[in-house]
Structure 1
Amino acid sequence: MSNVSDAVEKRLESEPLMAHLATSVDDRPHVAPVWYRYDDGTIEIVTTGRKLANVRENPRVALSIQAAEGGDPEWTVTLLGRATIVDDEAESRQARARIHEKYDADASSYSENVLVRIDVGSASLQTY
């Protein structure tokens, strides 16, 4: 059972928007843009580098997604959750394909990226 309301799900499943993933290690925040895919209370991202290293150290993360028109925000969703790294190349490849399909991108790009699943603990929606 998902902790995400229907109104939030509708926005998460809409157009391909950029999300900002917040991680933290040693009480130092790190925020970076990511592509994502939402499915029934779980966010999938594929990543590498600092984001992945941070999640290995501290699985508590936040994700922020916003839709805007000409710089004016329409809505913002903020998600808090726990990330799990899936160290399985076949699952990562499938997730890359799903995410790249959403963003109409070349699925062969970023082949080193690893699947990270975020189980959403709470979600909030702000409309403007």
Structure 2
Amino acid sequence: MKEQRRARKIAMTQEEVDAFLSEQRTCRVATSSADGPHVTPLWFAWHGGALWLTSLARSQRWTDLMRDPRVAVVVDAGEEYGELRGVELRGRVEVVGEVPRTGEPVAELEGPEQAFADRYSGGTIGRDGRHAWLRLTPEKITSWDFRKIPRS
């Protein structure tokens, strides 16, 4: 993974990144389409050093990612300047499991599906036959935490 080169003084540690991604609920996923960038919000699970996304298999996002698996994802929080913090993850997504997901046993999905269900549906894993799983193992992570900026 590429190391963050800029703003290292306000970068999160790996433990802080893990905690942040485990507590936040929404990410913004940027893909490239023939018409230019396409950005959409999604729920996600951070599990095993990867960002797990569940996407409608019949969507512009899915079409974009099957054509070009490169993606940038931002998870951020804060309202006031001194509270802003976030993580940008870049890399390529991989499809994991059947498309769409109907429940075929896939060992790789046991952890992410349960983490997602615990976060969003009270622990019940739902499979609607319309969504499928994408795994982003980041090639680069950039983070920032403005709370680390010294106050005068």
Both proteins in one fold, TM over 0.5: yes
CA distance in structure 1 between the partners assigned to 2:68 and 2:62 by the alignment: 10
Q: Give the corresponding residue for 1:116.
A: 134
Q: Which runs of 4+ in 1 moved over 6 A?
A: none
Instruction: Say if 1:45 and 1:99, in contact at 8 Å, map to a contact too.
Output: no
Q: Give the corresponding residue for 1:44.
A: 52
More strand by percentage = 1
| Alignment counterpart, residue 98 of structure 1, candidates 108, 115, 120 | 115
Distance 1:74 1:103, change over 3 A: farther
Q: Structure 2 counterpart of 1:33, which letter? A: P
Distance 1:7 1:108, change over 3 A: closer
Distance 1:25 1:87, change over 3 A: farther
Instruction: Write out aligned runs for 1:11-26 (5 A).
Output: 11-13=20-22, 15-26=23-34
Larger Rg: 2
**Corresponding position: 1:53 with 2:70:** no
CA distance in structure 2 between the partners assigned to 1:109 and 1:43 by the alignment: 19
TM-fit CA distance, 1:110: 4.7
* Stretches of structure 2 lacking an aligned partner (at least 5 in a row): 4-12, 147-152
User: RMSD over aligned Cα, in angstroms?
Assistant: 2.7
TM-fit CA distance, 1:8: 1.6
Residue correspondences, number:
125
TM-fit CA distance, 1:93: 7.8
Between 85-94 and 109-118, the greater mean CA deviation after superposition: 85-94
* Stretches of structure 1 lacking an aligned partner (at least 5 in a row): none
Q: Alpha-carbon deviations, 1:30-64, whole Å to 9, x = none?
A: 00000111123211010011111111000000000
**Corresponding position: 1:29 with 2:47:** no
Q: Give the corresponding residue for 2:8.
A: none
**Seq. identity, %:** 21
